[in-house]
Amino acid sequence: MATSKEEMKLTFRRFKDGENQWPSWHDKIFIADTSHKCPVYVHRTPPCQGSCPSGEDIRGWLQIVRGIEQPPKDVEWQKYAFYRATDANPFPAMMGRVCPAPCQDGCNRNEVEDYVGINSVEQFIGDTAFANGYKFEAPPLAMDKKVAIVGGGPAGLSAAYHLRRRGIASVIFDDHDKLGGMMQYGIPGYRVPRQVLDHEIKRILDMGDIEVRTNTRVGVDVSIEDLEKEFDAIIWAIGCKTGRGLPIPGWEGTPNCVTGVAFLEAYNKGDLKVVSDKVVCVGGGDTSIDVVSVARRLGKISKMNPKDRPEEVIAGHTAHDAAVTAAREGADVILTTLFPREEMTASEHEVRDALREGVKILYEVMPLEVIKDDSGRAVALKMAKCKVQEGRPIPIEGTEFELEADLIVSAIGQGGDLTGLEELDNGRGLIDADQYFQVPNRPGHFVAGDIVRPHLLTTAIGQAWIAAESVEHYLKNENIPRRPKVDKHHFSLLDKLKEAGLAPIEFDPEKMGDLRGTSSGNWAVHNFEDRAKQEIIPHTKLFLGHFNYTPRIKRKERGPDDTEVLGHFEERYIGLTEEEARSEADRCMSCGLCFECDNCVIFCPQDAVYRVKKDEHTTGRYVQTDYTRCIGCHICSDVCPTGYIDMAMGE
């Protein structure tokens, strides 16, 4: 494969005096009867995919939705896009709604006007799959072995999915009534519609050979030793479902001081139906936004029986009757954060929605002490303005004040609960993992998700994919191959050629001679180099002048204002129509892969670049170069919008 001068890493070269500089290429490039530097078609990873913790082939399914990449015969494009999207992530409808979309932050289209609405198109793919009843294909079992998966959240379900695709059976253990983890018990239903979530979970289980054992806590009901005896490998995907309390005087043991995780679980179980008159939440991330948004929707009731106080429900001592909601009124809800608005870790649109719904946000303040009454209940939270130095908040003297509160919620982070699993604890309430998501020094034990390090749902899903691959190698007694530098689900031109019936024929040297003169042979993929596993293509390699200003097509929202929020539990997003999804996907610049714009064909002065025959065409094989005509003028490379053409052949 050809490698351009700019990309080349020399290991050794001997120079004569004066030969340590690259000579001018002018004469060799611009004399018409001399061909020197010719185009090579180089596939690289786009930054949207490079930024996706699940490793989705985002460019690939956008290409399918927009109509550039064609599905195999007798497969509708909607189903083909669904299969491409779920090659990495089995939850397109869920992630399209709740993922904070680091892919959109990385999108090169930001250099033109605005990112591609990747989330909204993914939601369209997931909702279309739900409406059309698409199923996952499951191969026959490849081995007589079974894997225990501890935890039925996004990491555990993703692990079961990826194992089953490899022909490996599993059993999921979960200590709740239902699977879903944080998607089920941590995110409110108006962000994650439960009927869609339950459908995406069921679609995984319908693959077969995935057993589920709910209401079973490993470490209490079942021991590690029991699992090791029954199963051939174990994946720990128990998440971080223990909220952190505020590290201030007065917090410990105060009944109406609760964590955000416990608050949201009580709400999502259907037990918590109203809150207190004055709710103060300390946080600044997405969990804290969910807490305050739920609190505004639930509201308060003026006269509450002490046994029905929200902290009693959150502690599991009681549950609210649905009748209490008839008398509810709006509650005063305040969110406090250490940071200015632009530095909050919560998604900007979530902060915007919370403010519109009537949540008050106090920026750059920190809690100092819980103020309690004679009965031991919190009545206020002592605060102060603060500045953050080296990651630590420092109170500003003389700025202290008190916030009245009937319920104080801490949403400052989460930790793991390793009760009965102490031997796995790394000392920080988490489980260690190596680069293959094996538990060090415990053969047959693997780990994925928040219990490695609390992060995004999409991160847990991506880690589970890698863990499942590692389990497969372990069960086959194989060495785990080195992970690529860009560790994602990549488009494969060779697989695409096979799918289209255009795979290269087998090369027989006895019949065909040596390898010289292969530029016109059909036993190899010519003038193509795949660097997707090594390189992410930056916007500087694109011809941005090709792209017109095209505004993003945004999803419509049902977000209530402060007068409508009470009792408002409708889903927030209204998904794109098919026409809107295709138009938004068409904004994708296809960074690092041809999207058939014809620039190179039109601008080549020698007619050296040409379209392949229609019956030989597929994605990644739209144009080729006649090297007998190419003069190395590099115009095709200059006008390629996607950075797919390198002037490298001949160096």
pLDDT, average across residues 518-540:
86
Work out the percent of the chain whose per-residue pLDDT is above 70.
93
Q: Is residue 234 part of a domain?
A: yes
Query: Are residues 261 and 396 located together in one domain of the fold?
Result: yes
Q: β-strands 210-213, 169-173: how paired?
A: parallel
Full domain range(s) for residue 451? 146-241+416-475
Q: Which two tokens stand for residue 102?
A: 């680091």
**Do 368 and 263 have their domain in common?**
yes
Which tokens in the block code for residue 354?
Answer: 């919370």
DSSP 11: S
Q: Which two tokens stand for residue 165?
A: 């695709």
Domain-embedded: residue 184? yes
Placement of tokens 């941590």 in the chain? 186
123 shares its domain with 175: no
Q: What is the CA radius of gyration of the chain?
A: 29
Rounded CA-CA distance 630/39 in Å is 9
Q: How confident is the model at residue 567 (pLDDT cuts 50, 70, 90)?
A: very high
- pLDDT greater than 50 at residue 587: yes
pLDDT digits (tens, 9 = 90+) for 345-368: 998 989 999 999 999 999 999 999
Q: What CA–CA distance (Å, rounded) separates 360 from 312?
A: 25
Q: Would you place residue 8 in the very low, low, confident or very high pLDDT band (cuts 50, 70, 90)?
A: very low
Is 522 within a domain? no
pLDDT over threshold 90, residue 30 = no
Dump pLDDT digits (tens) for 480-502: 999 999 999 999 999 999 999 99
Judged against a pLDDT cut of 50, whether residue 234 lies above it is answered with yes
**pLDDT at site 527:** 84
pLDDT of amino acid 324: 84
**CATH number of domain containing 291:** 3.50.50.60
Check residues 523 and 370 and name the one with the higher pLDDT.
370
Report DSSP state, residue 646: E
Q: How far is CA 438 from CA 398, 480, 489, 509, in A?
A: 51, 11, 20, 44
- What pLDDT score was predicted for residue 26? 59
Residue 470, both tokens: 């590692």
Share of the chain above pLDDT 90, in %: 84
Q: What's the average model confidence in pLDDT over 320-335?
A: 91
List of long-range contacts for 608-615, beta carbons under 8 Å, 24+ apart:
609/39, 609/636
User: Is residue 77 included in any domain, yes or no?
Assistant: yes
Q: Give the pLDDT of residue 524.
A: 77
Q: Is there a single domain that holds both residue 267 and residue 192?
A: no
User: Of 414, 442, 460, at which residue does a domain stop?
Assistant: 414
Last residue of some domain: 395, 414, 433? 414
- The pLDDT of 264-284, averaged and rounded, is 96
**Mean pLDDT across the chain, nearest whole number?**
92
Of 394, 414, 434, which residue sits at a domain end?
414
Q: Which residue has the higher pLDDT, 42 or 5?
A: 42
Strands 623-625 and 278-283 turn out to be unpaired
How far is the C-alpha of 409 from the C-alpha of 337, rounded, in Å?
A: 12
Tokens of 360: 């008050």
| Residues 191 and 335 placed together within one structural domain of the fold | no
Q: What is the C-alpha separation between 368 and 377, in angstroms, rounded?
A: 17
In a domain, 265, yes or no: yes
Same domain assignment for residues 283 and 394: yes
63-to-59, 379, 589 alpha-carbon distances in Å: 6, 56, 10
Q: Which of 504-518, 603-617, 624-638 has the lowest mean pLDDT?
A: 504-518
Q: Is residue 114 part of a domain?
A: yes
Confidence at residue 123, expressed as pLDDT on a 0 to 100 scale: 98
pLDDT digits 0-9 by tens, 47-69: 999 999 999 999 999 999 999 99
Is pLDDT of 425 > 80? yes
CA angle 422, 424, 426 (to 5 degrees): 95
Confirm whether 489 is domain-assigned: no
pLDDT at residue number 650: 58
- In a domain? residue 641: no
Position 436 pLDDT exceeds 80: yes
Neighbours of 53 (CB within 10 A): 20
d(CA 586, CA 607): 28
Question: Does residue 195 sit in the same domain as residue 231?
Answer: yes
Give the per-residue pLDDT at 21.
60
Amino acid at 324: V
- Look up the pTM and report it: 0.91
Residue 508: band (very low, low, confident or very high) from pLDDT cuts 50, 70, 90? confident
Provide the CATH number for the domain around residue 73.
1.10.1060.10
Q: Which residues contact 258 (CB under 8 A, 6 or more apart)?
A: 243, 310, 311, 314, 315, 407, 408, 409, 410
Q: Are residues 343 and 432 in the same domain?
A: no
CA–CA gap between residue 457 and residue 156 (Å, rounded): 11
**pLDDT over 50 (residue 514):** yes
Mean pLDDT (whole number) for 116-131: 98
Question: Which token pair is 384?
Answer: 């102060």
Choice among 130-134, 404-408, 624-628 with the minimum mean pLDDT: 624-628
Mark whether 444 and 579 lie in a shared domain: no
* Structure-token pair, residue 95: 């992630």
Q: Which pLDDT belongs to residue 20? A: 57
Which range, 18-27, 122-131, 519-528, 615-624, is most confident?
122-131
Question: Whole-angstrom Cα distance, residue 219 to residue 555?
Answer: 44
pLDDT at 16: 55
Is residue 183 over pLDDT 60? Answer: yes
Task: Identify whether residues 252 and 266 lie together within a single domain.
Answer: yes
**CB atoms < 10 A from the CB of 77, how many?**
15
Q: Is 517 left (phi over 0), alpha (psi -120 to 50) or beta?
A: left
- In this structure, the answer to whether residues 390 and 429 fall within a common structural domain is no
Maximum CA extent, the chain:
96
What mean pLDDT do residues 379-386 have?
98
pLDDT level of residue 27 (50, 70, 90 thresholds):
low
Is residue 135 predicted with pLDDT exceeding 60? yes
Cα–Cα nearest to 100, from 459, 490, 450: 459
23 pLDDT higher than 70: no
Residue 97's pLDDT is what?
96
Cβ-in-10-Å burial (0-12, 13-18, 19+) of 279 comes to buried
Residues 229 and 274 reside in one and the same domain: no
Q: Measured between alpha carbons, how far is 333 from 279 in angstroms, rounded to an integer?
A: 5
What's the number of domains the chain is made of? 3
